[in-house]
Chains A and B, each alone.
Chain A
Amino acid sequence: METENIVEIKDLYLNFYTYDGVVKALDGVTLNIKKNEILGLVGETGCGKSVTSLSALAIVIPPGNIEKGQIVFHASNKNFDILSLDEKDLTKLRGRYISMIFQEPRAALNPVYTVGEQVAEIYFHHRKEEMINKVLTELEEDLKKASGLKRSIYKRDLSLYKKMLENPKSLSLRIYSKIPILRRFQNRMKKVAKKEIIELLKLLNIADPPRVVDMYPHELSGGMAQRVVIAMAIACNPYMLIADEPTTSLDVTVEAQILYQIKELQKKFNTSILYVTHDLGVVAEICDRVAVMYAGSVVELADVMTFFKNPTHPYAQSLLESIPRPGKKFVSIPGTVPSLVNPPKGCRFYDRCKYALEMCPTTKPKLLEVEKGHYVACHLYGE
């Protein structure tokens, strides 16, 4: 069944069970990400955008718990119901079909391993067979040209690698991997991996990749570290990339570089991207469609031109109004985000909304299509 969506989130409810009460973080989130598009997910602190993006990978941080809902991931010809998969299947998906990059690049990198080692970890986890096959072809070439002692070494290496493919947990392999001198057979694979990694880093415009591969995360600048993280995320050419505020902690000139990079990569690899941010400028710069979240649900979903020209939901309108403009007084949204422990029964934006109607505090508005591809959850446009 060919759909144009790559991920569909249907009616997701998520609660956090804390000392202060049950925090109803997600209240029926419905969202879809199309193939080959960049969807911006906008909202303020506490609206649930990060939680939503993590849930797409079925990562729920305790004391959270998904109450209801469905997340469907459409790969090339298969459909995955993410929330019903077990850990084993999920680890096969994560990093390979769906990847994620986070806000703090240096927090996402392990400080005691070099860049090369960390990227290699991704390769060895997901693309091991490919690597081994490459090694095998190389070995067979060398075997033809070698003689004498080298020949016997290559023969032994060949058998070991073949065994890696057939029976990775075999005893002889395990022994060989532990003993220092015999361990050298792994060097070939490491070299192959290193070549791949350098190519990957070149793709991200990292200067002098052979030097960077041996550097530790603390030696990298913020922009470079984020590029490394992105490299790790696209190493296996995933169908979808989830980016959780990746440029928020970077300087504005570096942010411009990374945004350009992401856009180029997206065009080259046709990856879908879910870009979570609170910066409307970034949304305008790279996104194709925008989804706005408020207090746990999606309030507006539209393509980016329509959204900026004609924001429909009162909250979206207020957001755009609050962008500082020189010469004008700053416009803010009165009031504060409601407590999610005791959320209001109806529309959660009711007490801050200029256009509140009678039914707003009692019934929750549903996300409806007001024009083609433009969805709003507001009683002003309801049935």
Chain B
Amino acid sequence: MLPVTYTVSDVEMDTLFEVESLKKYFPVLGGVLKRKIAEVKAVDDVSFSVLKGECFGLVGESGCGKTTLGKTIIRLLKPNAGHIFFDVPKDELEEIKKLENGDPKSRRLKELTRKYDWARFGASKLKSIRKYVQIVYQDPTTSLDPRMLVKDVVVEPLVAQGIARGTKANERVIEVLEKVGMSEKHLYRYPHEFSGGQRQRIAVARAIAPNPRFVILDEPTSSVDVSVRAQLLNLFTDLQKDLGLTYMFISHDLSVVECISHRVAVMYLGKIVEFAETEELFKKPLHPYSQALFASIPVPDPTKRRGKPPPLLGEVPSPINPPSGCRFHPRCRLAVDICSHEEPILVETSQGHFVACHVVAPSKRG
């Protein structure tokens, strides 16, 4: 049973990831000489933490940067700025925070960041972190090499990182396939011979083969049927319990996120606008964007029809030229003067519930 409603903040949980002020921009090249003429601010100054053993939900619409955020954390992309602290023991994490606030240029801080900050890692160090973090993609058709047999697909992380080879690797492959509900007889087949749900299982098997600590699930159920979706979600929760995994569940399907995540963050145009424990967030969303987002989900109950005009009008602006100040202000029903020239910061409105909005959660300064 998935304990969806335990309060995370009460218990002293260990942090797996501590992300600070993360930025990822993509250059837009143009002109004859292909120079940088603009930047897509996909992830713009995002800070949060992921606790060990939890399922961290990340929701938002297309263009909000959630996939980019996930990929940047596991260093498939190189961040432009910010820190990604992985698996720092609690006392050292406290030390880092104290030094950042007090003595940012201290040698001890530099030492600690060099040891734990993935944002600083170069190519050689990155090779060693691959076994800790894995990713399951949205579309199992394109995330599995169509020219490789199932056994080659699943064994790749083991062989590429030198974790195991030969018979030991094959044994591990069979072990992992059985964990995801497939079997040895599927080894010598091509991925396209399987259904979407089975292909996604193969992708999951590949992800858990190197025994990682953290898996990013990037919209893993969006490309499969409704009946298969439940099977996959059960698989994820079982594996989490079984293997002690930590998940980041990225999705635009809010009903699924509500059921599987412990804490959820809502992103809009590269920023986290609201962040709370699941039950709290879905019961009482505070940020106007979160409210509009939740109100837009079509509920499978005809007695609860909306009928009225849609909760949110207009389109998401381009992340190349986001609106000034609070990014949501042009579409926000609560917008006031300050919203157009000052960016709101995340403020804790109640235990574990953070909102970035001048109106709903004004910050203490100014």
Contact = CB atoms under 8 A, between A and B. Distances in A.
| A contacts B directly (C-beta below 8 A) | yes
Interface of A: 44-45, 221-224, 251-257, 259-260, 278-285, 304-305, 308, 318-320, 322-333, 336
A253 B310 contact: yes
B315 A281 contact: no
Nearest to B62: A251
A222 B1 CA distance: 39
A283 B300 contact: yes
B299 A285 contact: yes
A132 B351 CA distance: 69
A259 B297 CA distance: 11
Given A251-B62, A251-B316, A332-B228, A259 B278 contact: no
B313 A257 contact: yes
A332 B5 contact: no
A190 to B, nearest CB: 29
17 contacts: A44-B227, A222-B62, A251-B61, A253-B292, A253-B293, A257-B310, A257-B313, A260-B306, A260-B310, A281-B298, A284-B298, A322-B229, A326-B278, A327-B259, A330-B237, A332-B227, A332-B229
Interface centre among B1, B282, B296 (most CB of A within 10 A): B296
B300 A308 contact: yes
Given A253-B293, A324-B256, A332 B230 contact: yes
A252 B255 contact: no
Contact of A284 (B254, B258, B300, B316): B300
Interface residues of B, number: 50
B310 A322 contact: no
B31 to A, nearest CB: 19
B35 interface: no
A326 B254 contact: no
Query: Which 5 pairs between the two chains have the least Cβ-Cβ distance?
Result: A281-B298, A332-B230, A251-B61, A330-B230, A256-B296
Contacts of A253: 61, 292-293, 296, 310-312
Interface of B: 1-2, 4-5, 61-62, 195-197, 225-231, 233-234, 237, 252, 254-256, 258-260, 278-279, 282, 292-293, 295-306, 309-313, 315-316
Contacts of B312: 253, 256-257
A260 B259 contact: no
B232 to A, nearest CB: 9
Contacts of B305: 284-285
B302 A304 contact: yes
Contacts of B292: 253
B296 A281 contact: no
A223 B315 contact: yes
Given A45-B196, A255-B296, A256-B311, A323 B255 contact: yes
A305 B226 contact: no
A284 B302 contact: yes
Contacts of A304: 302
Chain A interface SS verdict (over half): helix
Given A281-B299, A319-B226, 6 more contacts: A223-B315, A252-B296, A256-B306, A283-B300, A324-B233, A326-B278
B322 to A, nearest CB: 15
Nearest to A325: B259
Contact of B297 (A260, A281, A319, A332): A281
A336 B303 CA distance: 32
A324 B302 contact: no
Contacts of A222: 62
A327 B278 CA distance: 11
A257 B314 CA distance: 9
A285 B300 CA distance: 7
B122 to A, nearest CB: 37
B296 A330 contact: no
A252 B229 contact: no
A330 B310 contact: no
Contacts of B278: 326
Contact of B225 (A44, A224, A285, A318): A44
A77 B303 CA distance: 36
